[in-house]
Chain A
Amino acid sequence: MKKLLAVCTMLCCFLVSSVAYAGDLIVIITPSHDNPFFKSEAVGAEAKAKELGYETLSLVHDDDANKQNELFDTAIARGAKAIILDNAGADASIAPIQRAKEAGIPSFLIDREINKNGIAVAQIVSNNYQGAKLGGEEFVKLMGEKGNYVELVGKESDTNAGIRSQGYHDVIDQYPDLKMVARQSANWSQTEAYEKMESIIQANPDIKGVICGNDTMAMGAMAALKAAGKGDVIVVGFDGSNDVRDSILAGDIKATVLQPAYRIAQMAVEQADTFLKKGSTGLPEKQLMDCVLINSKNAKRLETFALK
């Protein structure tokens, strides 16, 4: 036991070499950092908060609403001044945000909305519909306005999956020569996109393009197409990850749509700062940020969800 404790203590000391107590605390809660998108949010918010003179605590909820609930307790117990949150569920996040509000801690939501207005100070999300239309337009152009294509959609229960698909179709369906031969959900997953794409290729050998609801699915689809010797099929994604940037630069995936995660996180911190100083952000609660098209022309400037 002594040994065990010594190991623990040493590890903890090593990890937390400096815990600053001074300054007001901003707690940043995001999904797991193993996805670079969320990592970028956390890094963006942290950098801005430090710049504005706040102490930060960056926590992850792993998309587990119960864990998020516990993290809110921690934020309240630590006496945080504001919470920046990419939430773990549109309904399941309402109760903890409400509790924080009652404890006098304002929440600033990024990336995903919740199903209730008036409890968070701000909900800043990227304009998925506008972004999807951008992606759809680029896709049509790349396809030359005709040919068979496949759509891979995200998790059906997720609002963003539906909105993006809607945006794509509102553009693509205006061109009668563009024919959708398959539409499958790959649940945002790279592995699943790979497997689904393999089967789709078997059933439809003559596809010319694949439009995907996010970048990880685009990566999976691209891998399956290359394995089947169809590396010239046009693939378009959504998110603007570094993986897809490299793929675009290598000439595989043709385009993606950047969600400015880094910038959104920074905006949330800026608004938190204004709110804490003036008592109001002076902006509406719901704010939409426009997305940016990424293709071979500007891919070089893309770095962790921000255009340099």
Chain B
Amino acid sequence: MNLDTVSGPAETISTNKLKFGMLLLKLRTFIALFLVIAYFSIMAPNFLSMANMVILVKHVSIYAFLAIGMTFVIITGGIDLSVGSIVGLAGMVAGGLLYNGLHIPFLGVTVYFHLPMVILITLAVGVLCGAFSGLLITRFNVAPFIATLGMLYIARGTALLLSDGKTFPNLVGKEELGNTGFPWLGSGTILGIPVSICILIILGIAAAYIAGKTPLGRHIYSVGGNERAALLSGVRVNRVKMFVYMFSGFCSAIAGLIIASQLVASHPATGEMFELTAIAAAVLGGTSLAGGRGTIGGTIIGAFVIGVLGDGMVMMGVSAFWQMVIKGIVIVAAVVVDQFQRNLQSRAVLQES
């Protein structure tokens, strides 16, 4: 994985040059982010103001949640198309529990949960959706693309069914039911930092720790690198796969909660196409769709590139149609550069040996 450690003693000037080029390539997403921010600071008024930066990170955090979950899935060589729908479903579950409560027909009662309970149930729904995809993939050998495509429709349909296509409005809760406080997730702050950004920091560090420092993280990479070899060397491949899909569902549920909280309303169509943004962020951050390669840090930077690009172009008033074209070009270009880097890497390995 890390080629710097295998450098031999016979280094020549040309390999040094190559190494510098490689370093630039490795840091490419970071450099791109820097340049994009610099560009918009000049072109868009108020772009670099503190208030706008906070707003920007808040916007990015939604995609970053999804992209973090997606990165693990992609590293194992899978894909999760259901994240956007789970965002919508999670919002509807939370909204429904707050607005209508849970009606239990055979007892004839309606239960209203306290806010922490609502949040836990919502997160559990997200994890369950992931577990369902995972089960299909591991036990029934359904290709991840198909299993999660199915989940995409199931979750979206369920979200629409929960309210019959309507929006759950005004999710502030009622004092007498003791379920107030939901809007805090979207608009509150901890030590002056918006809650969603705090969650992003915690989730980002936790995910990076799992990926880099734990056996589970090593197993995730090994499953994506060579599933058969991982299986033969004693990695419980199915468990690892179950974990990544459940984690992705969990991350999606967080995003759903935060969006519903920001709007103080939940709409069943929320999160359409988010899965593609999440995949784009992961790929921009250097995650390989073939599996086995990718980092959480890279993915978060990828999410920032997409977010900065989107917000910056909106602030400059670029037409929405052009925004799509530009985003598409950036994603394709990132993968082209990625391939270029891989070729360079294999050349470097050849030269050193």
Interface residue B165 (Cβ < 8 Å from any Cβ of A): yes
Q: How many of chain B's residues touch chain A, expressed as a range?
A: 35 or more
Partner of A8, one of B164, B166, B183, B326: B326
0 or 1 for each of A1-28: is its CB under 8 Å from B? (1 = yes): 1011101110110011001010000000
Residues of B within 8 A of A157 (CB): 164-166
Asked whether, in the complex, the Cβ of A5 is within 8 Å of the Cβ of B32, the reply is yes
Asked whether, in the complex, the Cβ of B318 is within 8 Å of the Cβ of A15, the reply is yes
In whole angstroms, how far apart are the Cα atoms of A94 and B49 in the complex?
Answer: 26
Asked whether, in the complex, the Cβ of B330 is within 8 Å of the Cβ of A94, the reply is no
In whole angstroms, how far apart are the Cα atoms of A9 and B326 in the complex?
Answer: 10
Residues of A within 8 A of B164 (CB): 157
Asked whether, in the complex, the Cβ of B265 is within 8 Å of the Cβ of A92, the reply is yes
Kindly report which residue of chain B lies nearest to residue A1, judged by CB atoms: B28
Interface-located stretch among A60-68, A206-214, A226-234: A60-68
Interface residue A77 (Cβ < 8 Å from any Cβ of B): yes
Number of interface residues of A (CB under 8 A): 45
Asked whether, in the complex, the Cβ of B25 is within 8 Å of the Cβ of A1, the reply is yes
Asked whether, in the complex, the Cβ of A16 is within 8 Å of the Cβ of B317, the reply is yes
Q: A65 and B316 in contact (CB under 8 A), knowing A4-B333, A8-B329, A95-B265?
A: no
Q: A73 and B59 in contact (CB under 8 A), knowing A8-B330, A94-B169, A157-B165?
A: yes
Residues of B within 8 A of A191 (CB): none
Interface residue A89 (Cβ < 8 Å from any Cβ of B): yes
Interface residue A150 (Cβ < 8 Å from any Cβ of B): no
A141-157 residues with Cβ-Cβ distance < 8 A to B are 156-157
- In the assembled complex, the CB of B342 is this many whole angstroms from the nearest CB of chain A, namely 14
In whole angstroms, how far apart are the Cα atoms of A95 and B264 in the complex?
Answer: 6
In whole angstroms, how far apart are the Cα atoms of A15 and B49 in the complex?
Answer: 23
Interface-located stretch among B39-47, B219-227, B242-250: B39-47
0 or 1 for each of B270-309: is its CB under 8 Å from A? (1 = yes): 1110000000000000000000000000000000000000
Interface residue A193 (Cβ < 8 Å from any Cβ of B): no
Residues of B within 8 A of A171 (CB): none
Asked whether, in the complex, the Cβ of A11 is within 8 Å of the Cβ of B333, the reply is no
A6-53 residues with Cβ-Cβ distance < 8 A to B are 7-9, 11-12, 15-16, 19, 21, 32-33
Interface of B is mostly: helix
B1-49 residues with Cβ-Cβ distance < 8 A to A are 24-25, 28, 31-32, 35-36, 39, 43-46, 49
Starting from the known contacts A1-B24, A16-B318, A157-B165, 18 additional A-B residue pairs (CB-CB under 8 Å) come to A4-B334, A5-B32, A12-B316, A12-B318, A16-B316, A32-B320, A33-B319, A59-B320, A64-B269, A71-B314, A73-B58, A74-B311, A76-B55, A77-B49, A77-B52, A89-B267, A95-B183, A95-B262
27 A-B residue pairs with CB within 8 Å: A1-B337, A3-B333, A4-B330, A8-B326, A12-B313, A15-B318, A16-B316, A19-B316, A32-B320, A33-B319, A33-B321, A59-B314, A59-B317, A64-B269, A64-B272, A65-B167, A73-B59, A74-B311, A76-B55, A77-B315, A89-B167, A92-B263, A92-B267, A94-B170, A94-B264, A95-B263, A99-B187
A: residues with CB less than 8 A from B are 1, 3-5, 7-9, 11-12, 15-16, 19, 21, 32-33, 56-60, 62-66, 69-71, 73-74, 76-79, 89-92, 94-96, 99, 115, 156-157
